[in-house]
Structure 1
Amino acid sequence: MTSIFDDIKRVFTQGGNAVTKLIMINVIVFVTLILLRTISYLVGYGVIYELVTINLGLPAHIMRFLFKPWTIFTYFFTHEGFLHIIFNMLNLYWFGFLVREYLGNKKVVSLYILGGLAGGILYLLFYNLVPFFEARAATAVMIGASASVLAIILAAATLLPDYTFNLILLGPVRIKYIAAFLVILSISGAVGDNAGGNIAHLGGALIGFIFIKQLQKGNDLGKPVHAVGDFFSNLAAGRPKMKATFTNPGPRTRSTTTTSGNVRPDQKEIDIILDKISESGYESLTKEEKQKLFRASQK
């Protein structure tokens, strides 16, 4: 048991893979809720579990949400059903690793959080403005990372539309068709039993598509997420703000080298490479372009 906790601690203290960290957070929350549910019901205090879960899920009614604004974040780290979390985490693993390979850890985290926020906002808008949903808003609550995962899936499909996954029974399938199928599935379910969840899926999918299109134009929509993350990381590490004083106003040359001495490509070069991938696929890149893309992902 000790080794399990050591492994978990290592995931979060040694930097590394953002996809693994996101999956780990979701699994920890899921296991904690399972233990809480089992214990609370066994001792006759099931209300404790109900109280915790109702304060993690995103309520549909705007007035209930205003009293629990944190749920716009907590809902996309919360699952109750085994199939729900397994499906989401498998997709996060497959598509998240693909996005991470080409764009780096920060972009994966940005997509996950922005996708969840977009899904939550669209969910609230529909349940408070569309007549079909308004009648259900009083009791509806949403949990699950599906909107965040759909953002990553659409981002991968927009970035690398012809990348191929080998699916059981179907064989090789381009991820643009997988993404299109999931979007159509969400549209068809927007008036079904999981109407709110499917609306949130569409919000996540939309932000994933927009994120990559803007990134190809040189605009990183994830900058606010990075800034907040860096702030809390520095706060937790207790790092003081750095100050530098320059006394020599003479001419200077701008350095764009990494610690290993390799020249780090600028954003325009990366945009050109991303456009080439979008049009012709990753395999069309030269060795030099692949190296530039790799170095950029280490930012």
Structure 2
Amino acid sequence: MMYVEERNKTPLSLGEEKNMVTQLLLINITVFILLFFTEIIYGIEGNPPARFKGDVLSHVLLPSTFDGLLKNPWTLFSSMFTHDSFWLITSNMIWLTCFGTMLQNHAGRDRILPLYLLSGVVGAVCYMLGMHFIPAFQALQPYATMTGASASIMAMAIGATVVAPGYRLLPNLPIPFWIITLVFLIVNVVTHIVNSHDLTTVPALIGGGLTGFFYMQQWKKGNDLGAGFNKVVYRITHMFHPKSHLHVVK
């Protein structure tokens, strides 16, 4: 006898199916809106943009130094939900919808949140290592920060390609899925160059991509690396809920 996870059948929903991709979209967009209006309030009160960055953004974006991380250790997680550019969050949310929905439909919603968080942390660590050991990036350390869900989305892109390498988004258009992943990588790098004028996020994208590859390769072998995390989250979120009925297959 085994317990079978009921997978999501619709691309995006807010109903009982608890679409994890939609929830991540809502969190990212909500954080962006809150920061946007906070910046407006700072401007109305006559504060310069530097004041907003120092008072608010510096406490949610990932710093490029380990000393900065020790002062604000939560930025290891908050940065993957924080976008400081309209174009960055727009492109990231489109790609999150694309890759996240595909991965969710092929591997189940329980893969989404653990992979998002794990790849975001690995991407953040790779970013900081790159800032310290890549000579071209070292000069940017005093003011560089990492923002956005790019590493997590890259993990989902690679993970989705691992799970369904022959999948076609458009059945009538024979474009392999890896090409779409490559387009995402190029667009993401260009977006960061346009907005931040640097390539410091490339190590984060590599770290996220490798995490997605390893995570989903293990899942295909029957090793769910996020099983323990999902159990903890389930117990916390259902602490005061009545016991749900699982579908049992004999």
For this structure pair, what is the TM-score category when the shorter chain's length is used for normalisation? 0.7 to 0.9
Paired amino acid for 2:25: I
User: In the alignment, which of 43, 46, 66 is matched to residue 44 of structure 1?
Assistant: 46
Question: Structure 2 matches for 1:18-37, cutoff 5 A?
Answer: 18-37=20-39
Q: For the residues of structure 2 that align with 1:161 and 1:27, how far apart are their CA atoms?
A: 30
1:97-131 deviation digits (Å, cap 9, x = unpaired): 11111221110111111111111010111112333
Paired amino acid for 2:23: K
Larger radius of gyration: 1
* Contact 2:218–2:225, Cα closer than 8 Å, also in 1: yes
Provide the identity percentage.
Answer: 30
TM-score, normalised via structure 2 length: 0.81
Equivalent residue pairs, number: 233
What's the offset of the Cα at 1:132?
Answer: 2.7
User: In the alignment, which of 61, 74, 78 is matched to residue 78 of structure 2?
Assistant: 74
Matched, 1:225 2:211: no
User: In the alignment, which of 144, 161, 164 is matched to residue 165 of structure 2?
Assistant: 161
Matched, 1:53 2:39: no
Which moved further from structure 2: 192-201 or 21-30? Answer: 192-201
* Contact 1:190–1:199, Cα closer than 8 Å, also in 2: no
Question: Structure 2 matches for 1:1-299, cutoff 5 A?
Answer: 11=14, 16-46=18-48, 47-48=51-52, 50-166=54-170, 171-183=173-185, 193-234=197-238, 237-238=239-240, 259-260=246-247, 262-263=248-249
**Helix, strand or coil: the match of 1:165?**
coil
Paired amino acid for 1:45: N
Q: Which residue of 1 aligns with 2:3?
A: none
What's the offset of the Cα at 1:15?
Answer: 6.0
What's the offset of the Cα at 1:96?
Answer: 1.0
> Where do 5+ consecutive residues of structure 1 fail to align?
1-9, 243-257, 265-299
Q: For the residues of structure 1 that align with 2:59 and 2:190, how far apart are their CA atoms?
A: 29
> Where do 5+ consecutive residues of structure 2 fail to align?
1-12
